[in-house]
Amino acid sequence: IAVENNNYIRESSQLVKELTEAKTKEKYVKVLEETNAQLDQKNKELNRLFLELQQKEGQLIHSEKMASLGQLVAGISHELNNPISFIYANTLALENYLKELEALWGSLSLEKAELQQRFASIAGDLQEIIRDNLNGSKSVKELVLNLKNFSRLDQAEWKESRLSEGVESSLKILKPQLSKDIEIIKDYQADPPIFCNPGQLNQVILNLLSNALQALSGKGKISISLQTEAGRLILSIADTGYGIPEEIQQKIFDPFFTTKDVNKGTGLGLSISYTIIKSHNGKLAVKSKPGEGSVFTVSLPLGKTLKES
């Protein structure tokens, strides 16, 4: 009896142990299932937030691009106004000359020599007017082409492009701000095509050149260089402006940080430029000394980036 009791107790203990372990396993499985469900929900939430961030980033880049273009509208409209004005004035003059020719044609009673002299005078004026109209039309065409090249609205987002094209387009767009006291020095030691988003890189170049011009306050020098180094393309934009204090250099790439007056800067230009260059697997850096000017350096990898065609 005692032996049977001991066996019964051992069997009962084993059964209790197995039941306890089974309940514990069941509990852990339930906890794991709940935890997995929570993780799955959080992953979905993180994916949603990531997509929202991507959309917001795209909106910010577009907004800053529109703001940059808005700041150039006054200068560009002035550049367009001049050729368009004399094209309009010349067209009115052409109309008057044609009326005079019609009157002369109907007045054949004039002496032949007098008529020939008048026709020669009108023909000379007409040639000059046509020449002016052609020059004015060419100026308008070039301005529109430069804006088109800057925005790259007619091209695929990612393609092979040369940085020098972006530099030249940006300089032409900024032409109204280039006074005779500002010297532009270009040194293109290397200009290989790189796989990039040309429109976005043009935005960066325009922002850096615009900042350099503002730092000069109408007088000084901007040096632009392109070279390759250790498998990377290096674009440097240096100015002889007032420079950036060391304590501020750590903040200039932060969103909404600006030293400009109210309504003269959003504080997003350099931040968005930094984001664009980072998306190209590149680096954007600055070196500056107060009173000696600043050098902004863009370093981009040669060949394909993470963005594959």
User: For residue range 220-251, what is the model confidence (pLDDT) as tens digits?
Assistant: 999 999 999 999 999 999 999 989 888 888 88
Q: 3-state class of 23 per DSSP? A: helix
Task: Name the strand (E) or helix (H) holding 287.
Answer: strand 283-289
Identify the CA nearest to 195 among candidates 99, 113, 309: 309
Tokens of 15: 């059964």
**For 28-80, how does the pLDDT look when each residue is reduced to its tens digit (9 = 90+)?**
667 677 777 777 888 787 777 777 766 666 656 555 555 555 555 555 665 67
- Work out the pLDDT band at 146, boundaries 50, 70, 90: low
Q: What letter would DSSP give residue 261?
A: P
Edge-first strand listing for the sheet containing 232-239 = 182-188, 220-229, 232-239, 293-301, 283-289
Q: What letter would DSSP give residue 264?
A: S
pLDDT at 298 over 90: yes
pLDDT at residue 271, as a whole number: 83
pLDDT at residue 107, as a whole number: 65
Q: At a CB cut-off of 8 Å and minimum separation 6, what does 260 contact?
A: 214
Using an 8 Å Cβ cutoff, are 219 and 181 in contact?
A: yes
Tokens of 145: 């082409």
Phi, psi values for residue 19, rounded to 5°: -65, -40
Q: Which has the minimum average pLDDT: 9-18, 58-67, 105-114, 141-150? A: 58-67
Taking only Cα atoms into account, the Rg of the chain, rounded to an integer number of angstroms, comes to 35
Per mean pLDDT, which of 30-34, 154-158, 183-187, 275-279 is the most reliable? Answer: 183-187
Burial of 60 (0-12, 13-18, 19+ CB in 10 A): middle
